[in-house]
Structure 1
Amino acid sequence: PSNDYVNIIEALSETEKRQFAFLLYSVSTGLHKNSLCEFVNQPASIEVLISALRAAPVSKDTLVREILYIMKKFALLRKEMHVCKRHAGLEFRQPKVISEFWKSLAQFCNECLDEEAKKIYECLLPNQQMMSWSSEAVLLDLIERGIIQEGDVSKLRDCLQKDLEIHELRYALNAATEKNYYSMTHSPHGRAVILNHNSFIVDPENLALQLGERRGSKKDVADLEKLWRDFDFSVSVLNDLTLEDIEKVLRQVLDEASDASDAFVLVILSHGFNGGFYTHDSKKCSLERIEQILCDETEALLNKPKIICVQACQVEDFESASEQGRPPGPVNSTNKSKSAMGRADRIKFMSTIPNHVSYRDPENGSIFIQHFIKVLRKYWNECSLQDMGTIINNEVRRTPILVRDNGEELEWKDQVSEVSYALTKNLYLKMR
């Protein structure tokens, strides 16, 4: 390694060198593992660390940066490797070289006192002795003996919960080993379904409702299809489906969902009313019914993020002005009593807030959809989808919209989009 690595290691305290050795052990092999175990028990010359670093079968720069990031040595990272905290956070938001398992063990070590580590060791290995009772030394010995294995800390958890009742450490272990973001590891990540309603036929039972062509929607569809393909989703574009077809096709797509997927995306483009949208046959479909199908009736999507994006007005019924007091048609929904758990892990983007319209340019597409695409492409590598929702809202709110009033006068309008979610972790997208 370069002298910079030597300078970095020499700048660490003895405790920090032990932490460095602990994390370095996770990517080392053979005799270097043994040497690092000895170093953690009884610190010796830093040549042990240098030698193990030189032999590590990964990028040395990436490895050192990630170790320093996990150790929160941001000043040293900036001084010696010229990487600021923000850029390191973007690079190592998800593990690169050090696995999530080892990162969580390092976090646990920071919470564990030496006397607590000794109690853990004596609980799991009675009548055994060690040269050092540091948490790093204890955990490495437990790993060497197979008591702790990659991804399996059940024996350690049982020890903390049943035998020692060290509640703070149990909470620390749970917090450290529970990932705070959704896994996006499959390729493709899952299905992205775009329901595009461009034209509408008159409902014989509601002749007063006349829904016009949604000019500009084709631009939205083309851009959305490319967006989700770039994010490594398998994209299906379904045009002008009837109410009956929507539920049938959705169920068919969801029945094909398997464990080999990370997430599901549904985009709806149509005319709308408060709480729903119109299908090709001018029937009403409630968003509540759509969420029931996705969240309550599809076990394959349980605990997986479901992304719903709706481009539709949210106003009083189109026909209300001409219906002369006739009650609106029924909204397609059910009222089954289901567990609330299914409604977790979802995020919903609405192009507008209730009782307001959503604007669409015949040439350039919808105001909301175009900002949605622009923000996701710009910020996917540094923001969670939740945070990007706030940016989208701000971009839409700041956009002046010039529209024709009754086909005559030009008038400035505005629009406010909305995002709501019940996600239980951060959701980060990945480009192909």
Structure 2
Amino acid sequence: MSNPQPLEEEVYDMSGARLALTLCVTKAREGSEEDLVALEHMFQQLGFESTIKRDPTAQQFQEELDKFQQSMDARTDFISCAFVVLMAHGNEGIIKGEDDKMVKLQDLFEVLNNKNCLALRAKPKVYIVQACRGEHKDLGEKIGESEVVTITRDHPHTIPTYTDVLHVYSTVEGYIAYRHDEKGSCFIQTLVKVFTENKGPILELLTEVTRQMAEKELLQGGKLRKTNPEIQSTLRKALYLQ
């Protein structure tokens, strides 16, 4: 038998503009300003044009995404990719605006898909969601005897509607996302550290984020908790930010 050949790596063209939109509810979310500072540092280092909107209502979450899409489609220069960071209280599939009303994540995700945003068609769209997805708390599980220690070429003119998207959630379905009142969220702080200190394809970096988060012990309610992000990808190529 012949040895299998390594796949030839295709990469996204990152030579054009990189755009980032962060929508963050700070109301009753102590520590979120620390996350905003960290994200702004990360986007600056990675060459992104970054916009931050604080305390959007549920309706403004949708409106700001719509404006983001319209502004990209109105540009004449080449756009390489877009990041959207959504930070708020939430539950599975929904996040809460500053007005305590809910907006569906799927409605926000639809705005930039290959059908609705021409500027990002076939280009990477990364959503980072820092929000609870339920009420469950993870106490962790034992490994062995010890506790886990302290996150087509055939049809070149068509493309599926939902490719080239990366959804990165701060926690898995049904579970709480943790945030420190002074230091910010474990997820955002770890992600920024990994993305700014390492090079490699984004899925490898996210694996490192998951590894580091899984090693951490988070104290909440007098008990140690565990947490890890969840990554959902329909990327067709390798995405390098550095």
Question: Which residue does the alignment assign to 1:299?
Answer: 118
Q: Which runs of 4+ in 1 moved over 2 A?
A: none
Q: Take 1:340 and 1:270, find their aligned partners in 2: how far apart are those partners?
A: 32
Cα 1:237–1:268 change in 2 (3 A) is same
TM-score, with structure 1 as normaliser:
0.47
Matched, 1:384 2:201: yes
Q: Secondary structure at the match of 2:189?
A: helix
* Contact 2:61-2:103 within 8 A present in 1 as well: no
Matched, 1:421 2:240: no
Q: Take 2:65 and 2:86, find their aligned partners in 1: how far apart are those partners?
A: 12
Q: Secondary structure at the match of 1:343?
A: coil
Structure number with the higher strand fraction is: 2
Question: Which residue does the alignment assign to 2:64?
Answer: 249
Code of the residue aligned with 2:58 in structure 1: it is L
Q: Take 2:130 and 2:173, find their aligned partners in 1: how far apart are those partners?
A: 13
Code of the residue aligned with 1:422 in structure 2: it is T
Matched, 1:193 2:21: yes
Q: Take 1:190 and 1:390, find their aligned partners in 2: how far apart are those partners?
A: 23
Q: Take 1:412 and 1:192, find their aligned partners in 2: how far apart are those partners?
A: 34
Matched, 1:283 2:95: no
Identity %: 26
Q: Take 2:230 and 2:159, find their aligned partners in 1: how far apart are those partners?
A: 22
* Contact 2:201-2:240 within 8 A present in 1 as well: yes
Question: Which residue does the alignment assign to 1:218?
Answer: 33
Q: Take 2:24 and 2:67, find their aligned partners in 1: how far apart are those partners?
A: 17
Code of the residue aligned with 1:391 in structure 2: it is E
| Equivalent in 50, 54, 67 of residue 239 of structure 1 | 54
Q: Give the structure with higher Rg (CA).
A: 1
Structure 2 residue runs of 5 or longer lacking an equivalent are 1-6, 136-157
Deviation at 1:340, TM superposition (A): 7.6
| Equivalent in 243, 267, 273 of residue 91 of structure 2 | 273
Question: Which residue does the alignment assign to 2:3?
Answer: none
Code of the residue aligned with 1:420 in structure 2: it is Q
Deviation at 1:377, TM superposition (A): 1.4
Show CA shifts across 1:373-427 (max 9, x none): 1111122x2x200111111111111100112x2xxxx211111211110000000
* Contact 2:214-2:228 within 8 A present in 1 as well: yes
Q: Secondary structure at the match of 1:425?
A: coil
Structure 1 residue runs of 5 or longer lacking an equivalent are 1-174, 200-212, 317-338
Question: Which residue does the alignment assign to 2:211?
Answer: 394
Q: Take 2:112 and 2:23, find their aligned partners in 1: how far apart are those partners?
A: 14
Question: Which residue does the alignment assign to 1:364?
Answer: 183
Q: Take 1:249 and 1:225, find their aligned partners in 2: how far apart are those partners?
A: 18
| Equivalent in 174, 195, 208 of residue 355 of structure 1 | 174
Cα 1:249–1:364 change in 2 (3 A) is same
Code of the residue aligned with 1:265 in structure 2: it is F
Q: Secondary structure at the match of 1:310?
A: strand
Matched, 1:180 2:13: no
Show CA shifts across 1:291-320 (max 9, x none): 11111421211111001101001006xxxx
Deviation at 1:250, TM superposition (A): 1.5
Q: Take 1:416 and 1:246, find their aligned partners in 2: how far apart are those partners?
A: 25
Q: Secondary structure at the match of 1:184?
A: coil
